[in-house]
Structure 1
Amino acid sequence: MSEQSISDVLSGAFAGVCFRLFGHPFDTIKVRMIMGNSKKSIFRTGLDIYKKEGFKAYYKGMLSPILAEVPCNAVMFAVYEAVYRELCPYPYSNQPQFASWLIAGGVSGVAYAMVVCPAEMIKCLLQMQIKNIDNELRSPLRCVITLLQREGIRGLFKGLVATIIRDVPQNAAFFTTYEYTKYLFKQRNSSDDINFWQALVCGGLSGIACCLASYPLDVVKTQLQCEAALFKSQRKFRPLLMDGGVIMCTTHILQKNGIMGFFNGIQSCLIYYLIGCSAQFTGYYYAQQLFKQALPIY
């Protein structure tokens, strides 16, 4: 592995930890809003969680994704950087490279989905815990064991099709927005560097863009994965062709809640990505700057 690739992998791993630590409470609220199908506001949903289950409930299910964020983000950023360098070899052009950003972001989305799907499967099940839940789903390890016993390895990858469909446009919007806003700040600064606050803005805007680009698909994915807590005979969403249940789930949401059913919980998701991606890209940018000084790769 080249020194450039090592820099991409380690910076991506650090970015993933930053994202999860700052964003997870809002992800928990989002999942509760999606699965509860209630009309409560983000504030009311968050307050109910605190009153009934305490502060720790905001971090339910965080262990599996934070462990997964390290390899997942390492893969995502490394794949993005590798594909981008192939499409737009170093030294990078002084002009915006929208096509390269979109393609590299989309490819990184496929790679990310393949790695993150099992962790998101477990996260969704744990976030839906209530006090009288079956003990089989009380911990990440118990979730894994139960899913393997019920369905084998396929149980951990339920919702994979929906995850890939979600993550391709999500990552394309994510990286393109980040790169373009970073480009604008560099033009404004007449420099190749951006400051801390500009890095936060780049990350926050990229988070909002990727949320808006993919949220309806995230609702479908979440419902498919949370349904895995049920036995097969109790599930509503059957795979048609090889869609993993996406078509039936999409139809169900549309019939039950109309088009707005695909945007239930979006307020929490926007805050989740705004805060999480601000931390993620700021962590990534400064980790890259550190490696730029430490390694002879630039």
Structure 2
Amino acid sequence: MSSDFWAGYISGAAGILIGNPLDVIKVRLQAGGSPNELSSSPSSLSPARNDKFQVATSFARGAAAPILGYGALNALLFVAYNRSLKVLDPSISDPTNLDQVSLAKIWLAGATGGMASWVVSSPTELIKCRAQLSRDRNISSWSIAKEIVQTSGLRGLYFGGLITSFRDSVGFGFYFWSYELCKRNILSSHEGAGHQEALKVLICGGIAGIATWTSIFPLDVLKTRLQAQPLHTIAIEQASEIQPLVRQSSSSSTRSPLSSLEIARQAYRAEGLQVFFRGLGTCNIRAFIVNAIQWAVYEWLMKELSKH
């Protein structure tokens, strides 16, 4: 495996270990106070509007899927990003030194990497959201994945995949773009000791995380609400190839899932524009911490692995 694969995998797993508690809060804020489509399902899924998180261990809920999945996602992301950037600019020799590379090319390579990571991010996000929104404290990521496959088949793991891929493509484009922009404005004008450079990498990584999530947060709210719909509606959507969102005339137990556009309309009518930014403050705190650490770990590992 290449250096960027392992550096991406390890840095991604490290970020999830640190950021999962705040991610639980973010997802519950996004899903809370929503319409009926987020009501409980056979897996006891619920936004738990008045949940006080009951015990400290609830903050670890949904961590298993991201730790395994996000490590692979981050590895795939960085490999696809570096390879795409190399195609766009063959003169690149050091992926950690891109001072002479166009920021437009960096954004495009980041968007390509985000799109490539969809194959991992879509099922990981679906399982994580459902675990974090469940009132069952004993539920595991594995049991949720197994229930989805049993109910909807393997395709069920990619429910909400379209909005996830769009979110990742746009978000990771800004992720790499903002990180490089910050590095050029901070690192180029102030050169110092190793610990000072490490501090600047942490700051740039944190700023990149905030810029990324601010740019895509409304999309993430819609993705969370879309993926939180009951499992039987996912099965209906998978069974209907031509018109998956056509309303059924029978009871609510057989109704089709709502689309992203329908969820957006309902959320706006019920709660106004602010619903698309609920949880952004918590998300940005988490984004700064997680991405500061991820970038620091990634840059350090790339330098260490390149020596060998």
Q: How does 1:50-199 map to 2 (within 5 A)?
A: 52-88=53-89, 89-91=91-93, 94-95=99-100, 97-131=102-136, 138-189=139-190, 195-199=197-201
Q: Which moved more, 1:80-89 or 1:179-188?
A: 179-188
In structure 2, the residue matched to 1:210 is 212
Structure 1 runs (4+) greater than 3 angstroms displaced: 91-96, 228-235
In structure 2, the residue matched to 1:15 is 11
Whole-Å Cα distance in 2 between the matches of residues 93 and 142 of structure 1?
Answer: 43
The alpha carbon displacement at 1:82 in A equals 0.7
Q: Does 1:291 align with 2:296?
A: no
Q: Does 1:265 align with 2:270?
A: no
Q: Partner amino acid for 1:34?
A: Q
Whole-Å Cα distance in 1 between the matches of residues 301 and 172 of structure 2?
Answer: 20
Structure 1 pair 93–201 and aligned structure 2 pair: CA distance change class (3 A): closer
How high is the TM-score relative to the length of structure 1?
0.83
Query: Is the contact made by 1:224 and 1:245 (CA closer than 8 Å) also made in structure 2?
Result: yes
Whole-Å Cα distance in 2 between the matches of residues 262 and 247 of structure 1?
Answer: 13
Whole-Å Cα distance in 2 between the matches of residues 130 and 234 of structure 1?
Answer: 24
Q: Which has the higher helix share?
A: 1
The alpha carbon displacement at 1:184 in A equals 2.6
In structure 2, the residue matched to 1:36 is 32
* SS in structure 1 of the partner of residue 188 of structure 2: helix
Q: Partner amino acid for 2:129?
A: C
- Structure 2 segments unaligned to the other structure (5+ residues): 35-49, 238-243, 247-256
* SS in structure 2 of the partner of residue 53 of structure 1: coil
Q: Partner amino acid for 2:126?
A: M
In structure 2, the residue matched to 1:25 is 21
Cα distance per residue 1:186-238 (max 9 Å; x no partner): 312458x8721111101100000001110000000001111144545999xx6
Q: Percent identity, please.
A: 28
Structure 1 pair 229–183 and aligned structure 2 pair: CA distance change class (3 A): same
* SS in structure 2 of the partner of residue 81 of structure 1: helix
Query: Is the contact made by 1:162 and 1:244 (CA closer than 8 Å) also made in structure 2?
Result: no
Query: Is the contact made by 1:158 and 1:244 (CA closer than 8 Å) also made in structure 2?
Result: no
Query: Is the contact made by 1:96 and 1:183 (CA closer than 8 Å) also made in structure 2?
Result: no
The alpha carbon displacement at 1:8 in A equals 0.9
Query: Is the contact made by 1:105 and 1:173 (CA closer than 8 Å) also made in structure 2?
Result: yes
Cα distance per residue 1:79-105 (max 9 Å; x no partner): 001111111222476445111111001
The alpha carbon displacement at 1:239 in A equals 3.8
Q: Provide the aligned C-alpha RMSD in A.
A: 2.6
Q: Partner amino acid for 1:111?
A: A
Query: Is the contact made by 1:159 and 1:244 (CA closer than 8 Å) also made in structure 2?
Result: no
* SS in structure 2 of the partner of residue 37 of structure 1: coil
Structure 1 pair 244–293 and aligned structure 2 pair: CA distance change class (3 A): farther
Q: Does 1:248 align with 2:253?
A: no
* SS in structure 2 of the partner of residue 290 of structure 1: helix
Q: Partner amino acid for 2:12?
A: G
Q: Which moved more, 1:217-226 or 1:80-89?
A: 80-89
Whole-Å Cα distance in 2 between the matches of residues 190 and 267 of structure 1?
Answer: 32
Whole-Å Cα distance in 1 between the matches of residues 235 and 185 of structure 2?
Answer: 54
* SS in structure 2 of the partner of residue 267 of structure 1: helix
Structure 1 pair 139–13 and aligned structure 2 pair: CA distance change class (3 A): same
- Structure 1 segments unaligned to the other structure (5+ residues): 39-47
Whole-Å Cα distance in 2 between the matches of residues 181 and 96 of structure 1?
Answer: 14
Whole-Å Cα distance in 1 between the matches of residues 231 and 282 of structure 2?
Answer: 23
Whole-Å Cα distance in 2 between the matches of residues 35 and 244 of structure 1?
Answer: 15
